[in-house]
């Protein structure tokens, strides 16, 4: 996204409601805005905040000063109308400002190197000036760091419903990016729905972004998970008995009460997902975000370069930043490459994540799903769960019973029967 567009979005968000006034937006000063017209408008907005007023297009227009015009205000209003996005755009404006400052310092350093100054002198000068480009509030004091350490020991987040998996991965922590990778038809969506249900049953509002399956097709799977009734009944392919219908009706009433919010709009970009998440978070305080799946995110405009690797790098980092910003776990379901299918045991590896470098780097945990091979044949009644990366704990493997006809994943007991999750 171009700098001018970011600055327009910041101002438009600030003019949309009083929720835009945050510590970050207040710390964003007019000198951080590159466009002089927008800098003048931003100065008026901050002045009105400082005097306890709520800026609106009308109040800012009444105090407009050159070089800004009323048309500039209108352009900003059209750019963004969601006040909860202001904090996000303020961070982007501050980052762009810091980059310009660093660029200016390095340009001047290059000029100094052409003169009589030594390399050591220029390096020292550049280092001191670049150190001054960090915005206020970007450092952490030791007392604050110790407080964060105590808080981290009491980490919060989302568990899975399976003790054997929890015993390895521990907790999918708030503020983390958690990747669930698998080949098609192995069980990514099923796994994601269990995570959504588990979080929701612990009073967390969940945003489930389903870009592969419409919302109406997710409900039968949730019903089957909750009841153990096969999908042929929950999808109404066959008429259920009176007792079975009563069971499904009770389960439907319980599911209706779960705080799960499903978006099945196809072709959303990572920016659109983030905007939706911020809006919901402002209204409901989200407890988890699940994206099914990452490879279906639409390309983002304004991303440097055009290769798939650059786009995936941008998207994975944007999701990680969203997790940190909202302090919620973001689960990114991801398609694996065909490489695992070429191995005798079909076992996936981290390198099988498509354009895996950036995803692997940004992820706090990576869980890989596959069908275990027995006697050279994939066992479709079992799901191998491999925690391949865990920033805060152990890695290892677990195995669940898989019953696709009932959309069920469950712990095997010693007798090999299903154990309720």
pLDDT tens per residue, range 245-268: 788 888 888 888 899 999 988 888
Residues 10/77, Cβ–Cβ less than 8 Å: no
Sheet containing 177-182: order of strands = 260-263, 205-210, 286-292, 330-335, 177-182, 365-370, 382-390, 396-403, 408-412, 418-419
> Mind listing the pLDDT tens digit for each residue in 84-98?
778 888 888 888 888
CA distance 17 to 100: 29
| Candidate from 37-41, 156-160, 234-238 with smallest mean pLDDT | 234-238
**183 exposed, middle or buried (CB, 10 Å; 0-12, 13-18, 19+)?**
buried
> For residue 14, what are the contacts with CB-CB under 8 A and spacing of at least 6?
20, 21, 25, 42, 45, 55, 83, 86
Q: Note the pLDDT tens digit of each residue in 113-151.
A: 787 777 777 776 776 666 555 555 556 667 766 766 666
Half-sphere exposure of 87 (CA within 13 A, CB side): 17
Identify the band that residue 368 occupies on the pLDDT scale cut at 50, 70 and 90.
very high
**Residue 279 and residue 217: Cα distance in Å, rounded?**
25
- Are 169 and 226 spatial neighbours (Cβ–Cβ below 8 Å)? no
Task: Name every residue whose Cβ is closer than 8 Å to that of residue 31 and which is 6 or more positions away in sequence.
Answer: 39, 97
Domain architecture of the chain: domains with CATH? 1-139 (1.10.860.10), 153-419 (3.40.50.300)
Instruction: Give the residue carrying structure tokens 């009491």.
Output: 154
What mean pLDDT do residues 168-184 have? 91
Q: How many whole angstroms separate alpha carbon 67 and alpha carbon 46?
A: 17
What's the first-to-final CA gap in the chain, in angstroms? 44
Residue 418: per-residue pLDDT: 44
Residue 325, pLDDT > 80, answer yes
Q: What is the pLDDT of residue 419?
A: 45
**Residue 416 binned pLDDT confidence (cut-offs 50, 70, 90):** very low
In angstroms, rounded to a whole number, what is the distance separating the alpha carbons of residues 235 and 223? Answer: 9
| pLDDT tops 80 at residue 241 | no
Specify whether the CB–CB gap between 230 and 186 falls below 8 A: no
Main-chain phi, psi angles of 140, to 5 degrees: -125, 125
The helix or strand, by DSSP H or E, that contains position 263, with its residue range, turns out to be strand 260-263
Q: What is the 3-state secondary structure (H, E, C) of 350-409?
A: HHHECCHHHHHHHCCEEEEEECCEECCEECCCEEEEEEEEECCCCCEEEEEEEEHHHCEE
What is the largest distance, in Å, between two alpha-carbon atoms of the chain?
Answer: 92
């Amino acid at each position: 996204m171009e700098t001018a567009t970011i600055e327009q979005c910041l101002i438009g968000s600030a003019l949309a409601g009083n929720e835009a006034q945050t510590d970050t937006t207040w710390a964003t000063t007019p000198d951080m805005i590159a466009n002089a017209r927008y800098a003048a408008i931003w100065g008026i907005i901050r002045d009105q905040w400082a005097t306890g007023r709520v800026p609106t297009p009308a109040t800012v227009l009444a105090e407009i000063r050159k070089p800004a015009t009323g048309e500039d205000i209108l352009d900003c209003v059209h750019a963004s109308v969601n006040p909860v996005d202001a904090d996000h755009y303020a961070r982007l404006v501050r980052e762009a400002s810091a980059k310009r400052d660093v660029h200016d310092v390095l340009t001047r350093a290059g000029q100094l190197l052409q003169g009589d100054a030594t390399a050591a002198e220029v390096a020292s000068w550049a280092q001191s000036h670049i150190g001054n480009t960090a915005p206020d509030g970007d450092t952490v004091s030791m007392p604050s760091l110790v407080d964060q350490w105590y808080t981290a020991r009491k980490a919060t987040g989302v568990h899975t419903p399976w003790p054997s998996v929890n015993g390895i991965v521990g907790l999918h922590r708030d503020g983390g990016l958690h990747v669930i990778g698998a080949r098609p038809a192995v069980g990514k969506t099923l796994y994601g729905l269990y995570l959504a249900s588990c979080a929701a049953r612990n009073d967390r509002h969940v945003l489930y972004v389903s870009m592969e399956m419409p919302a109406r097709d997710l409900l039968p799977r949730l019903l089957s998970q909750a009841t153990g009734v096969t999908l042929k009944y929950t999808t109404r392919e066959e008429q259920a008995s009176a007792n079975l219908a009563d069971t499904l009706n009770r389960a439907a009433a319980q599911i209706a009460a779960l705080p799960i919010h499903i978006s099945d709009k196809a072709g959303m970009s990572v920016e659109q997902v983030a905007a939706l998440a911020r809006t919901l978070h402002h209204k409901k305080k989200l407890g988890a975000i699940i994206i099914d799946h990452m490879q279906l995110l639409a390309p983002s405009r304004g991303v440097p370069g055009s290769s798939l690797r650059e786009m995936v790098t941008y998207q994975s980092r944007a999701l990680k930043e969203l997790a940190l910003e909202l302090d919620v776990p973001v689960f990114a379901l991801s398609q694996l490459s065909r490489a695992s299918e070429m191995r005798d045991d079909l076992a996936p590896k981290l390198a099988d994540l498509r354009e895996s470098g950036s995803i692997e780097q940004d992820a706090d945990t990576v869980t890989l799903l596959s069908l275990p091979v027995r006697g050279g044949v994939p066992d479709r009644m079992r799901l191998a769960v491999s925690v391949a990366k865990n920033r805060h704990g152990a890695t290892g493997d677990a195995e669940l019973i898989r019953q696709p006809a009932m959309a069920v994943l469950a712990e095997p007991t010693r007798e090999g029967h299903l154990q309720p999750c």
